[in-house]
Amino acid sequence: MEPIVKYDDVHKSFGDTHVLKGINLDIYPSEKIAIIGPSGSGKTTIIRLLMTLEEPTDGDIIVAGENLWKMEVGGKKKRANEKHLRSVRKDIGMVFQHFNLFPHKTILDNCVMPLVKVKKYKKKEAEEEARRMLDRVGLGDKYDAYPANLSGGQKQRVAMARALVMKPKIMLFDEVTSALDPELVGEVLEVIRDLAEHDEMAMVLVTHEMDFALEIADRVLFLDDGVIAESGTAEEVINQSENPRLQDFLKRFRNSSS
């Protein structure tokens, strides 16, 4: 099977800080990947590059056969323009740590607007689709509420519904429970678990919810100092790896969470 996303020796620097130092990664359709690792190891940057929120300093990211950040003009490779980026990123969706809902729109409109504007749905079809998705994340009674009167967990579920209505082939989750009160984390993880079990799309989770990540992921990546230091099933990475940095990270994680 062909990978849907391919990172080829991808580097990213912010000023003098070399955050990613050569990422090579294939993501296959419907694969569920969890990225774990210490703070500042570049986990979030990996998925932000794919969402085109940051531009790689070097290397290529191929999405469904298309080079994301470079386009060919007259046989020459050039930096991608907005038109090229739009055509390639249409299959990618993302859920953010801080939700980023549109505060001036009801939660139904948060989901309807992108469907109408980007996918050119008729308003009525868009509303039906948005309602179906909001029902799925358990917010069927809140269509006309504004984000300001929802709890953090509800906001994050709306954000997931908004990303899901666009039917992405790859969904990125950027520490989606980190900004939530502890008692609200469960309801959000429940939705992700449901997606992981029943949905065909590929999912990449950057997370600190270690047990959850290990439970749902087909493959776990341990990112350390800007490179993928370990990669394998949860079982392989947790129990069989000899990597001392990983052992240290896991030990510190267990201590802090117990």
Partner 1 sequence: MNSQYWSWETFLEAFPIILEGLKITLGLTVVSYLLAMLAGFIWLVLEATPWRPFNLIIYWVREFIRSTPPIVQIFFLYFAWPMVPYVGMSFTPFVAAMLALGIHFSTYISEVYRSGIDSVEKGQREASTALNLSTKDRWLNVILPQALPPTIPMLGNYLIILFKEVPLAATIGVVGILSIARSYGAQTWSYIEPLTIVALLFLLLSYPSALLINKLEGKMNRRFDKKQKKVGVSE
**Interface contacts to partner 1, rule CB under 8 A:** 51-53, 82, 86, 89-90, 92-94, 96, 98-104, 113-114, 117-118, 141, 144-146, 148-149, 162-163, 166
Residue among 220, 212, 218 at smallest CA distance from 190: 212
How far apart are the C-alpha atoms of 107 and 150, rounded to whole Å? 10
Min dist. Cβ of residue 190 to partner 1 (A): 20
Range list of H helices, the chain: 43-50, 82-89, 107-117, 123-136, 152-164, 182-198, 210-216, 234-235, 244-257
| 34-45: burial string, b at 16+ Cβ within 10 Å, e else | bbbbbeebbbbb
Give the chain's end-to-end CA distance (angstroms, integer).
41
How many C-beta neighbours within 10 Å does residue 224 have? 18
Min dist. Cβ of residue 239 to partner 1 (A): 35
Min dist. Cβ of residue 64 to partner 1 (A): 14
Min dist. Cβ of residue 61 to partner 1 (A): 15
Min dist. Cβ of residue 68 to partner 1 (A): 13
Between 81 and 257, CB nearer to partner 1: 81
How far apart are the C-alpha atoms of 210 and 101, rounded to whole Å? 26
Between 86 and 193, CB nearer to partner 1: 86
Min dist. Cβ of residue 162 to partner 1 (A): 7
Between 86 and 251, CB nearer to partner 1: 86
What DSSP string runs through 214-254? Answer: HHH-SEEEEEETTEEEEEE-HHIIIII---HHHHHHHHHHH
Between 157 and 162, CB nearer to partner 1: 162
Between 101 and 234, CB nearer to partner 1: 101
Between 90 and 136, CB nearer to partner 1: 90
Give CA separation, 105 vs 99, 117, 163, 187, 226, in Å. 14, 15, 15, 23, 38
Min dist. Cβ of residue 103 to partner 1 (A): 6
Between 19 and 229, CB nearer to partner 1: 19
How buried is 99 (Cβ within 10 angstroms: 0-12 exposed, 13-18 middle, 19+ buried)? buried
